[in-house]
Structure formats: structure tokens, C-alpha cells
Chains A and B, each alone.
Chain A
Amino acid sequence: MNRKSGVILGIALIIFLVISIIGAALMTVVMGKARQTNDLEKRTQAYFFARSGVEIAREYVNEKRKNDEQFFDEKVIVLHGNISSENNGELSFDFQDVTDVWPKDNVRASFEASASSFRNNEIVTAVWRDNEYTNFLSSGNAGDMTRTLAFMCSEGSAGIPVFDMAIFADGKISIGSAQKVYGNVGTNSTITKGKNRAITIRGNNKITEGDVYFGNGANIDGMKAGDFTRDGTLCTLDSNRDYALLLPDFPETPELINKDDLEVDQDVSVNADGYYKKITVGNRKTLTFDTGNAENVRKIVVDEFEFGSDSSIKLSGEGKLNLYVGVFITTGNSSISINKEGDRKEIDRVVLYYSGNSLENVDLDLIGTFFIEGASDITLGQGNNELRVSGLIIYAGESDVTMKGIPETHTVALFAPKAKVIMSGNASFYGAIVCNEYSANGNPDVYYRSAEEIFSDTSLEIIDGDGEEAFELWGE
């Protein structure tokens, strides 16, 4: 037999084998790549399912907490369902209260341990609260792929608009029968009927050019806008406005270098910060505070501030003045103007802090911000012994703030969320009032002026109505 017969078949089979091996290797590589792509697709979709779970759960938490703010404080809730099988936009999710079986301090472990029981759901999200934060663990299941996102947030708050209405009161508002109000009027009160009705307009009077807002949740069905306003609408607030929370703390008196008592019997200029037990400004005399450069805030603390008739305080330089006054001492014809020639927009150029018990008979003309801690006898107007403030008045006390006779106030933002504001006679007010209660007799007028439009941006920062900043933290 010839030894070479059949060799070519052997070689051919070897070639076949090699080619088969190459082919198989190629297919393995290609199938690996295809599987990788397939996994990537499922991973991506699982990620979007997990995100959707967080979206759904966040809104669920918001809705639940609207009715019961403490709802999630002790609970651990699991939401689960599918979103790819929607029926005309209708999706149905289930929820389980797992508070008793999932310890709140180790939800992650319980969540992972229970993952297999939720495999049939595209979205599984656990929600619980931890101090002021809401925590979410959300899994998305796409095919055999699962992705889990951890999300933590505090929703923050939208803030409260300040000075967006002519008159806003926490409680009752009583509009006079001959009074003119040009602007919106609102209250937190939800009482729409009876003697304690939140907004009462006497006679056949109506509000002009303004809407009327009752408190959030008030039942205004059947009420006619025409009974309250000539051309506006009747509505309810989106949420309660707690302006008392926005009241800034009355500042501590700064520790400054002691100075001798200052008696101004000729025009005097002060160019350094200092603490004075007493400053007396004589009749028609001027005390000038040199405020230095634009970044400087001149700080002056005075226990007793006495002034004669037609006396004045002026500012020089480019800086600001913070004047802390313990008590004003007046005689029969005392009157003082502070920063009378100042820019009416820059109401933070002068901030006058007053910690005395009373403002009775104080005849003061001020362009700036007047922060009154708790004094009584606050009367605004143009008459003698009244406060003529062009700017912002912050009143932290609870006594009445009155405007009577025929005074006409300059543009004022009056922020007195704990006080009752009473207008009478022919008083006219140009600006915005925030108070606890409002009452008017006779025919005083209120003309709304937007503080934000009139004053510079920084001037109103002393009242922070911006709300809390939302916080979000994602992880996987």
C-alpha cells in the first residue's frame, strides 16, 4: 500500500478544522459584542426606569405631605409598577407600607434582599424620610438587567412674595365705605361668611384695579367678584403666607468705642464709628456722618437721641449708615430729618434701628429703612409728631400702626406682620402694607406701588422671602 494515499484528505480536514476554529472564535467575539450591546440597551432602559421611579415617588411624597406633613416621618413605603404597558396614558402603581419589616436605618439592605420579589416590575422605589431629607432608592428592571439609583433631596420652598399686594393681612381686612384701594388685597384667613369674614367692604364700595385673595383652601364658590372688586377677580392664595417668619431678628447692638456725649450746637461732622450715651442736636443744627468709601458701613450707637426743631442728620461720603437708637427724646416742637436729600431708591443707605418703647410725638423725616423693635404709638403721616418715612418700615411689635387725619405718606413698604394697621380720615398711603389685621374708617386711600420696582435690588434684602433652596443628591 502506498503510504501517501489519503494524505490530502487529512490536510483538507486539518484546514477545515482550522477554519472552523477561526470561525467559532470569530462568532464568539461577535456574539460577545452583540450581547454587550444588548446589555447596554437594557442597562440604559433600566436607568430611565429607575429615574422615572424617583420622579413618581417625589410627586407621591409631595402629594401625601400636602395633607399630612408628618406622613413619611416614620414610614418606609415601596412603590412599584410598569410604565411601558400604559393604557391610553393610564398607569397604575401599587404601594406597600414596609415600615414594620424594613428597618429605617438600613433600608438599602432590605431593598436589595427583596429585589427578586419585585423582578416583574419595571420600577421599584422605596421612600423614607431622614431628618429634613427625603430618601429614595429606585430600581429599574429591563429584561434581566437591574439598575438602582439612590436619590436624596429636600424640596425647598418657593418663598413668599413680599409686597406684591396693596394690602395683605394675616387676618381680617376691613375696607372703609368711601375708601379707595388701587391694587390687590389678600388675607390668609379662609373665613368667607359671617361676622368674622376675612374681607369686609363696607357700603357699596369696591376695590379698584385689583384682585381679592382669600386664604388657601377658602370656599369661594358662589361668591361674586363684583361684590369685592370693580374689575378684578376673586381667588384664593396658592399657599399660606407666614410673614411673621420672615421678620428679621432685631440686631444686637454692636460693641463700639465709647465716645463722650455729643452736643451739636454748631454743624458737626462725625467720621468714626462710636458708642454715644447721648447725642443732642440743637435747633436747626446739622449733624453730618461721614460714611467713608462705598463699601464702608458707619455704625453709630446712641442710647438717648435728643433733637430740637428742624434739626437734621446728613450723610457725606459713599458708604452707608447704621444708626442704633435706644430712645428719641423730644420737646414740644422737635423735628428731625435724616438723609432727607438722599436717593429714594437706595433705602439701605441709612438703616435706623430703634429699640425704644414708644415713638409718641417723634417727628421724624427719614429716607431709608426704619426697623422698629417693639415701640408703641407708631403714627405715619405728614403732620407734626408723625413718622414720614420714604422707604421701608419694619415693625416687629404688636401695637397698632396708625395713619389718621389727612396725611399723605411717601412710598412706603410697611412690613408689620404682627401689628394691626388702622387708617382713618383722609390719609393716603402709597406703597404696600403687610400686617396682621387691617382696618379703615372714613375715606383713606391706598395706592399700590411695587417696592421691587421702586427700590434698588439690594435694598429689600433685609427681608428674605426667597424661601429655602432645594437640595438634590444623586448616586448609583
Chain B
Amino acid sequence: MSALTTSEGRPSINRSTGFSFVEVLIALLIIIISVVTLMNFLMTALRVEDSASAISEDLLVKSGKLEEGEGNSKQATVTIGDIDIPGVIHEIGYGKTKQLIEFKRSGQ
């Protein structure tokens, strides 16, 4: 006999088959939380990737400029024992707040 018919031959609904409301609710909750978290991960990843690419690109451009002596410069003297070496510290910013520095002696 089919599970969907009574002893009298009438069709009946088995209430214990399928998923309970609580089950569906919990499953939905888990899936929603997972998806939202994944989306957050995805957004963060995209942001980090974008930022890292921008920094790398900027770094390459700015390091080339620094090699050519561009950027802010300020006078500096390196003292080694009794010898003073006058020169300039070149600073060039990259990314949002970072900077590269290099010392170059004067009078080349």
C-alpha cells in the first residue's frame, strides 16, 4: 500500500515527510550567513587586490623617478668618524602614505 493512501483507500498526507519549518529556517540562515560572509570576503579580496595592484604600479613608477633624483629633497650630512659627507636625502611618496628614501652625495 502506498504511503499516500489510508486503509480505506482515501488519499492522505504524511505530515512527517519533507522538511520542517525549523529545518528550512536554520538551513536558510546558514546559507545566508555563508553567502554574506563570502560576499564580504569577495569584496575585501577585490579591494585588497585593487589596492595592492595600485601600490605595485605606483611603486615601480616612483622608484624610477627616485633613481632620476626626483621627489622632495632635503640637505643631509652623514658623519663617519672625522669625515662629513654632505648630500641630499630624496624622498618620494607612493600609495597613499608610504615613501621611498635615498641618499645621494653632493658634488658628483
Chain A contact residues, CB within 8 Å of chain B: 2, 4-9, 11-13, 15-16, 19-20, 22-23, 26-27, 29-31, 33-34, 36-37, 40-41, 44-45, 47-49, 51-52, 55-56, 58-60, 63-64, 79, 81, 83-84, 86, 89-95
Majority secondary structure, A binding face:
helix
The chain A residue with its CB closest to the CB of B24 is A8
- A29 vs B48: C-alpha distance in the bound complex, in angstroms? 10
Are A84's CB and B101's CB within 8 A?
A: yes
Residue of B30, B37, B52, B85 touching A36 (CB-CB under 8 A): B52
- A56 vs B88: C-alpha distance in the bound complex, in angstroms? 11
The chain A residue with its CB closest to the CB of B52 is A37
Enumerate chain B residues within 8 angstroms of A40, measured Cβ to Cβ: 56, 59
The 9 closest A-B pairs by CB, nearest first: A12-B27, A52-B103, A37-B52, A19-B34, A30-B45, A48-B102, A12-B30, A89-B76, A23-B41
Enumerate chain A residues within 8 angstroms of B42, measured Cβ to Cβ: 26
- A8 vs B29: C-alpha distance in the bound complex, in angstroms? 12
The chain A residue with its CB closest to the CB of B35 is A19
CB-defined A-B contacts under 8 Å, sample of 20: A5-B19, A5-B20, A6-B23, A12-B27, A12-B31, A19-B37, A19-B38, A23-B38, A26-B45, A33-B52, A40-B56, A40-B59, A44-B59, A44-B100, A48-B101, A49-B102, A52-B104, A59-B87, A83-B101, A89-B74
Enumerate chain A residues within 8 angstroms of B27, measured Cβ to Cβ: 8-9, 11-12
- A92 vs B105: C-alpha distance in the bound complex, in angstroms? 14
A9-B30, A26-B41 provided; 5 other pairs, C-beta below 8 A? Answer: A5-B20, A5-B23, A9-B23, A33-B52, A34-B48
Are B16's CB and A63's CB within 8 A?
A: no
- A4 vs B78: C-alpha distance in the bound complex, in angstroms? 79
Interface range on chain B: under 10, 10 to 19, 20 to 34, or 35 or more? 35 or more
Are A89's CB and B56's CB within 8 A?
A: no
Interface residues of B in 69-83 (CB under 8 A from A): 74-81, 83
Q: Given A41-B98, A48-B66, verify A91-B79 contact (CB < 8 Å).
A: yes
Q: Given A15-B31, A15-B34, verify A89-B79 contact (CB < 8 Å).
A: no
**Taking the nearest CB of chain A, how far is it from the CB of B28, in angstroms?**
8
Residue of B18, B26, B44, B103 touching A55 (CB-CB under 8 A): B103
The chain A residue with its CB closest to the CB of B46 is A30
Enumerate chain A residues within 8 angstroms of B87, measured Cβ to Cβ: 55-56, 59
Enumerate chain B residues within 8 angstroms of A47, measured Cβ to Cβ: 63
Are A4's CB and B17's CB within 8 A?
A: yes
Enumerate chain A residues within 8 angstroms of B75, measured Cβ to Cβ: 89
Enumerate chain A residues within 8 angstroms of B55, measured Cβ to Cβ: 37, 41
Enumerate chain A residues within 8 angstroms of B59, measured Cβ to Cβ: 40-41, 44
The chain B residue with its CB closest to the CB of A123 is B103
- A191 vs B24: C-alpha distance in the bound complex, in angstroms? 106
Enumerate chain A residues within 8 angstroms of B80, measured Cβ to Cβ: 56, 60, 79, 81, 92-95
The chain A residue with its CB closest to the CB of B42 is A26
Residue of A4, A55, A63 touching B104 (CB-CB under 8 A): A55
Are B30's CB and A15's CB within 8 A?
A: yes
**Taking the nearest CB of chain A, how far is it from the CB of B82, in angstroms?**
9
Enumerate chain A residues within 8 angstroms of B81, measured Cβ to Cβ: 95
- A271 vs B38: C-alpha distance in the bound complex, in angstroms? 96
**Taking the nearest CB of chain B, how far is it from the CB of A410, in angstroms?**
41
Enumerate chain A residues within 8 angstroms of B16, measured Cβ to Cβ: 2, 5
